[in-house]
Amino acid sequence: MIAYVTVGADDIARAKRFYGAFLPALGYGQKEGPEGLSYALPVAPGQSAALPDFYVKPPFDGRPAAAGNGTMVAFEACNQRQVRELHAAALAAGGVDEGAPGFRASYGPRFYVGYLRDPQGNKIALFSSNPDEPGRDG
């Protein structure tokens, strides 16, 4: 099980604006501290944490943050409409389009996804595979 994912950022304020445009809508709470941003899903009393947590931090080695080639973090939305809305909100908050929301021929018929780059260049996917919605083939 993945416990947490961390991406690097040199400008925490820009990262906060970008991730704040869509992670709260997916249920993530945000904490900010001197070490960066922490996003986690809420935990009900007596329940285990819903993993993974997501962190946005300056690199510990003090060198500039760099996006990984082939690295991507995907967040699941409730439905196709939410993918479109959150993709648009993230673009308006400083993201860069890496693929408009829609179906992809190389994935399953219900996998609806939009791709972005955060202000640091990290690749982010917003997807839904809601079985109650129409699929790629109708």
Q: Under 8 Å CB-to-CB from 9, ≥6 apart: which residues?
A: 15, 36, 37, 56, 57, 58, 65, 118, 119, 120, 122
pLDDT at 138 over 80: no
pLDDT at site 49: 87
| Entry pTM | 0.93
Residue 44: which pLDDT band, with cuts at 50, 70 and 90? confident
Beta strand extents in the chain (DSSP E only) = 4-8, 29-33, 36-40, 53-57, 72-76, 96-103, 112-117, 123-128
136 in a structural domain: no
The CATH number of residue 111's host domain is: 3.10.180.10
114 in a structural domain: yes
What is the pLDDT averaged over residues 6-10?
97
Q: Which domain holds residue 93?
A: 4-128
